[in-house]
Structure 1
Amino acid sequence: MSRKKIVAATGCPTGIAHTFMAAEALKIAAEQLGVDIKVETHGQVGIENALTDQDILEADGVIVAADKDVNTDRFHGKPLIEVPVAKGIRTPNELIQGIINGEAHVHQVKGRATGTEKTSASSSPAQQKSANKWIHTIYKHLMNGVSHMLPFVVGGGVLIALSFLFGIYSADPQHETYHPFAAYLKSIGGLGFSLMVPILAAFIADSIARRPGMVVGFIGGLLANDGGAGFLGGIIAGFAAGYIIVLLQFLLQKLPASLDGLKSIFIYPVIGIFLIGAVMTPLLVPITGLNNSLMDFLSAVQSTNPLLLGLIVGAMCGFDMGGPFNKAAYVTGTALLAEGNLYFMAGVSAACITPPLIIAIATTIFRKHFTPQERNAGAINYILGATHITEGAIPFAAKNPIVVLPIIMFGSAISAILTYLFGVQVPAPHGGFLVLPVVTGAFQWVLSILIGSLVGAILYGLYRKKIDKPAV
C-alpha cells in the first residue's frame, strides 16, 4: 500500500514563530504516522517551500493551519482541514489522522465550476454555520491586514525614534538643534508610518476578496487615515471594501466569462472605489470620535491606574502567547503607536518578551529538574525572548497549562506593571531588545522584564521541583 501524501500551509500574523513551529510539528507528526508531507510556510519574508500544482494534484488531503490568508482557492476539490495555527502546533497528529481517516470535507470554491471568481470558501457546511468558524474567519482576515502592516510600523517607528537621538526637535528647521539627517530620518519614517492604516485596510480586504478587494481597501484606508478615523477606521474600511467586492461579484456573476478581465481591471475598481467612498464618508465623523475616545480612555487608564492596565495587558499577552488574546493587546498597542502613544506598547512588549525568558531562566536555575532536551530548548528561549518571540514558551506551557499558564501570566503582568510605573516608551511593536537604542527608559524596561521573568521562573522552577524527578 502506497504512503499517503499530504500538503499543508502554515501562517501566523507576525510570520515569525508560530508559522514555523506549526510546520515543524506537522513534519514530525507525519514522520511518526508514516505519511509524506510538504509544508508551505507563509512567514514575514514571504512564501517558502511553495506548493506546486503537481504537489496539490498528487496530495490525498490538505491541512491549513493559519491565522492569515494562504490562498485556499487552489485546494478546490481536495479534502481540506482548516484550523488556527495554534492547532497545528498542539495537535498535528490529530490533523494528519483526520486526513488518513477520510474525515476531511472536500473544499469547494464558490463559482469555480462556472468560471466566476471566488466569493467565499468553506471546508464543511457544519463548520460554516458554527460561531467558532465565523469568528476564526473574521480573525484571519484581520490578522492578514496586521501581518502586512507590521513592517511599515516597525520600519517607520524605529526611524522616527532614531531621529530623536539627535534631539527632540532636531527635525525642526526652525530649532537650534536642527540636524538635516534627523529631519531625513523623521520624514522617511513618517512616510512609512503613514501607510499603516491603508495597508491594514488593503490586506483585510485582500483576504476577503483578493486583488479587487485590496485596491478598494487601500482607498478606504486612505479615507480613514486622512479623515482621522485611524486604526479603527482602517479595520472598518477593510471589511467594508472586501464585502463590497464580494457583493459585486455576486451581482455580476451572470456576465459572460469573456468579460472577466474587464470586471477585474475596470468594473470592480471603479464601482468599488465609488462605493467605499459612499460608505466611509458619512462614517468618518462618528468613527473618528469613537477612535479618539478609545485612545483617550486607554491613555487615561495608563496614567491613572497602571497596576490594573499592567495586570490586564500581562494576563492577555501571557495567556495564549501569540493567540487571539495576545494579539488583541498587541494590535491595541500598535494602534496607540500610530496615535503617538509609545507607553502602552512598552508594557505589551515587556509582557510578550517575559514568557520565553521565564522558561529560559527556570531551566538554568533549576536545571536538574528538566530533561536535557528541555534545557536545550530553554537556552534557545533566551534568544527568542530577547527578540520578542513569545511562542518559545508554548511547548512548556502545553505540558500542564492549568498550572504553567497562570505562572506565565503572573510574570508577564509584573513586567508590564513595572514598565508602566517607570513610564518607559517603546517606539516599535517588535524587535525586543534589538530596539533598546531607541527606547526611552531602556534600563528600567530591561529591569522590569528581568524582575517579572525571574519571579515567574522561580515559581515555575519550584513547581517542576515538586513534580519532577531529577533528570539523569
Structure 2
Amino acid sequence: MSRKKIVAATGCPTGIAHTFMAAEALKIAAEQLGVDIKVETHGQVGIENALTDQDILEADGVIVAADKDVNTDRFHGKPLIEVPVAKGIRTPNELIQGIINGEAPVHQVKGRASGTEKTSASSSPAQHKSANKWIHTIYKHLMNGVSHMLPFVVGGGVLIALSFLFGIYSADPQHETYHPFAAYLKSIGGLGFSLMVPILAAFIADSIARRPGMVVGFIGGLLANDGGAGFLGGIIAGFAAGYIIVLLQFLLQKLPASLDGLKSIFIYPVIGIFLIGAVMTPLLVPITGLNNSLMDFLSAVQSTNPLLLGLIVGAMCGFDMGGPFNKAAYVTGTALLAEGNLYFMAGVSAACITPPLIIAIATTIFRKHFTPQERNAGAINYILGATHITEGAIPFAAKNPIVVLPIIMFGSAISAILTYLFGVQVPAPHGGFLVLPVVTGAFQWVLSILIGSLVGAILYGLYRKKIDKPAV
C-alpha cells in the first residue's frame, strides 16, 4: 500500500515562531504516522519550501494551519483541513489523521469552473455556517494586515527610538540639542511608522479580495490615517474595501471573460476607490472620536490604576503567547506608540518577554525535573525571551495548559504591573533587551521582567517537582 501524501501551509501574524513550530510539529507527526508531507511556511522573510502545482496535484489532502492568508484557492478540489496555527502546534496528529481517515471536506472555489473571480468557500454547509469558522476567517483577514504592518512598525519605530539616543529633542532644528543624524533617523523612521495604518488596511483587504482589494484598502487606510481615525479606522477601511471588491466581483461576474483584464486594471480600482471614499468620509468623524476616546481611556487607566492595567495586559500577553489576545495587547501598544504614549508598550513588552524567561529560569533552577531535551529548549528560551519572542514557551504550556498557562499569566502580570508602577517608557515596538539603550528606566524595566519571570519560574518549577520524576 502506497504512503499517503499530504501538503501543508503554515503561517502566523509575526511569521517568526508559530509558523515554524507548526511546520515542525506536522513533520514529526507525519513521520510517526507513516505519511509523506511537504510543508510550505509563510514567515516574515516570505514563502519558503513553496508548494508546486505538481505537489498539490499528487497530494491526498491539504492541511492549512495559519492565522493569515496563504492562498487556499490553489487547493481547489482537494480535501482540506483549515485551522488556526496554534492547532497545528498542539494537535498535528489529529489533523493528519483527519486526512488519512477521509474526514476533510473537499475545498471548492466559487467561479473556478466559469473563470470568474474567485472567492473561497468550503463544500461543507455545516462548516460554512460554523461560528468558529466565521470568527477564524475574520481573524485571519485581520492578522494578514497585522503581519504585513509589523515590519513597518518595528523598522520605523526602532529608528525613531534610536534618534532619542541623541536627546529627546535632538530632531528639532530649533532646540540646542539638535543633531542632523538624529533628525534623519526620526524623519525616515517616522515615514515608515506613518504607513502603519494604510498597510494594515491594504492587506486586510488583500486577504479578502486579493490585489484589487489591496489597492482600495490602501486608499481607505490613507483616508483613515489622514482623517485621524487611526488604527481602528484602518481596520474598518480594510474590511470595507475587501468586501466592496467582493461585491463588485459578484455584480460584474456576467461580463465576458475577455474583459477580466479591464476589470482588474480599470473597473475595480476606479469604482472601488470611489466607493471606499464614499464609505469612509462620513465615518471619519465618529471613528476618530471613538479612537481618541479609547486611547484616552487606556492612558487614564494607565496612570490611575496601573495595577489593573498591568493585570489585564499581563494576562492577555501570557494567555496565548502570540495568539489573538497577545496580538490585541501588542497592536494596542503600537497604536498608542503612534499617539506618543511610550508607557503602555513598556508593560506589553515586559509581559511578552516574561513567558520564555519563566521557562528558561525554571529549567535552570529545577533542571533535574526536566528532560535533557526540555533543558536544551529551556536554554534557547533565554535568547527568545531577550529578543521579545514569546512563542518559545508554547511547547511547555501545551503539555498541561490548565496549570501552566495561569502560572505564565501570573508572572507576565507581575512584570507588567511593576513596569507601570516604575513609570518605564519604551519607545520601540519590538526588540526585547536589544533596545535597552533607548528605554527610559531601563534598570527598572529589566528588574520588573526578572521579578515576574523568577516568580513564574519558581511556581512552574515547584509544579514540575511535584508531578515529575527526576530525569536520569
Would the TM-score normalized by the shorter structure come out above 0.5? yes
RMSD over aligned Cα atoms: 0.8
TM-score, normalised with respect to structure 2: 0.99
Once the two structures are overlaid, the 10-residue window that deviates more, 396-405 or 252-261, is: 396-405
- How far residue 99 of structure 1 moved from its aligned partner, in angstroms, is 0.5
Q: Whole-Å Cα distance in 2 between the matches of residues 380 and 172 of structure 1? A: 42
The 3-state SS of whatever aligns with 2:166 is: coil
Contact 1:119/1:249 (8 A) holds in 2: no
Task: Render the CA deviation track for 1:27-78: whole Å, top value 9, x for unaligned.
Answer: 0000000100000000000000000111111111000000000000100111
Once the two structures are overlaid, the 10-residue window that deviates more, 366-375 or 244-253, is: 366-375
- How far residue 321 of structure 1 moved from its aligned partner, in angstroms, is 1.0
- How far residue 227 of structure 1 moved from its aligned partner, in angstroms, is 0.3
Q: Whole-Å Cα distance in 2 between the matches of residues 420 and 325 of structure 1? A: 20
Contact 1:119/1:250 (8 A) holds in 2: no
Task: Render the CA deviation track for 1:92-132: whole Å, top value 9, x for unaligned.
Answer: 00000100111111101111111011133336321110110
Q: Whole-Å Cα distance in 2 between the matches of residues 447 and 123 of structure 1? A: 54
- How far residue 339 of structure 1 moved from its aligned partner, in angstroms, is 1.3
Between the aligned residues of both structures, percent identity stands at 99
Q: Whole-Å Cα distance in 2 between the matches of residues 328 and 354 of structure 1? A: 17
Q: Whole-Å Cα distance in 1 between the matches of residues 445 and 164 of structure 2? A: 18
Q: Whole-Å Cα distance in 2 between the matches of residues 270 and 188 of structure 1? A: 31
Contact 1:73/1:121 (8 A) holds in 2: no
Q: Whole-Å Cα distance in 2 between the matches of residues 249 and 3 of structure 1? A: 41
Q: Whole-Å Cα distance in 1 between the matches of residues 125 and 389 of structure 2? A: 36
The 3-state SS of whatever aligns with 1:322 is: coil
Once the two structures are overlaid, the 10-residue window that deviates more, 193-202 or 325-334, is: 325-334
- How far residue 19 of structure 1 moved from its aligned partner, in angstroms, is 0.2
Once the two structures are overlaid, the 10-residue window that deviates more, 55-64 or 123-132, is: 123-132
Once the two structures are overlaid, the 10-residue window that deviates more, 57-66 or 432-441, is: 432-441
Task: Render the CA deviation track for 1:311-357: whole Å, top value 9, x for unaligned.
Answer: 01101111111111111111111211121111111111111110111
- How far residue 293 of structure 1 moved from its aligned partner, in angstroms, is 0.2
* 1:32-43 matches, cutoff 5 A: 32-43=32-43
Task: Render the CA deviation track for 1:230-283: whole Å, top value 9, x for unaligned.
Answer: 000000000000000000000000000000000000000000000000000000
Q: Whole-Å Cα distance in 1 between the matches of residues 175 and 460 of structure 2? A: 53
Once the two structures are overlaid, the 10-residue window that deviates more, 174-183 or 359-368, is: 174-183
The 3-state SS of whatever aligns with 2:38 is: strand
Task: Render the CA deviation track for 1:167-189: whole Å, top value 9, x for unaligned.
Answer: 11111111111111111111101
Once the two structures are overlaid, the 10-residue window that deviates more, 155-164 or 89-98, is: 155-164
The 3-state SS of whatever aligns with 2:64 is: strand
In the alignment, what sits opposite 2:391? 391
The 3-state SS of whatever aligns with 1:105 is: coil
Contact 1:80/1:123 (8 A) holds in 2: no
Once the two structures are overlaid, the 10-residue window that deviates more, 291-300 or 397-406, is: 397-406
Q: Whole-Å Cα distance in 2 between the matches of residues 193 and 135 of structure 1? A: 29
TM-score, normalised with respect to structure 1: 0.99
The 3-state SS of whatever aligns with 1:245 is: helix
Contact 2:121/2:128 (8 A) holds in 1: no
State the aligned residue count: 472
In the alignment, what sits opposite 1:400? 400
Q: Whole-Å Cα distance in 2 between the matches of residues 133 and 325 of structure 1? A: 18
Structure 1's 229 and 37: CA in aligned 2 closer, same or farther, altered over 3 A? same
- How far residue 428 of structure 1 moved from its aligned partner, in angstroms, is 2.4
- How far residue 400 of structure 1 moved from its aligned partner, in angstroms, is 1.3
Q: Whole-Å Cα distance in 1 between the matches of residues 377 and 124 of structure 2? A: 38
Q: Whole-Å Cα distance in 2 between the matches of residues 380 and 116 of structure 1? A: 49
In the alignment, what sits opposite 1:53? 53
The 3-state SS of whatever aligns with 1:289 is: helix
Task: Render the CA deviation track for 1:139-176: whole Å, top value 9, x for unaligned.
Answer: 00000000000010111111111111111111111111
Contact 1:81/1:123 (8 A) holds in 2: no
Task: Render the CA deviation track for 1:391-410: whole Å, top value 9, x for unaligned.
Answer: 11111111111111111110
Task: Render the CA deviation track for 1:7-32: whole Å, top value 9, x for unaligned.
Answer: 00000000000000000000000000
In the alignment, what sits opposite 2:63? 63
Q: Whole-Å Cα distance in 2 between the matches of residues 284 and 193 of structure 1? A: 21
Q: Whole-Å Cα distance in 1 between the matches of residues 429 and 34 of structure 2? A: 41
In the alignment, what sits opposite 2:289? 289
Contact 1:82/1:123 (8 A) holds in 2: no
Q: Whole-Å Cα distance in 2 between the matches of residues 41 and 291 of structure 1? A: 35
- How far residue 205 of structure 1 moved from its aligned partner, in angstroms, is 0.2
Q: Which runs of 5+ in 2 are unaligned?
A: none
Task: Render the CA deviation track for 1:175-215: whole Å, top value 9, x for unaligned.
Answer: 11111111111110110011000000000000000000000
Contact 2:357/2:382 (8 A) holds in 1: yes
Q: Which runs of 5+ in 1 are unaligned?
A: none
Quick check: 1:145 aligned with 2:145? Answer: yes
The 3-state SS of whatever aligns with 2:132 is: helix
Contact 1:7/1:63 (8 A) holds in 2: yes
In the alignment, what sits opposite 1:202? 202
* 1:56-455 matches, cutoff 5 A: 56-122=56-122, 124-455=124-455
Contact 1:368/1:470 (8 A) holds in 2: yes
- How far residue 440 of structure 1 moved from its aligned partner, in angstroms, is 1.6
Q: Whole-Å Cα distance in 1 between the matches of residues 120 and 106 of structure 2? A: 14
The 3-state SS of whatever aligns with 1:349 is: helix
Contact 1:111/1:117 (8 A) holds in 2: yes
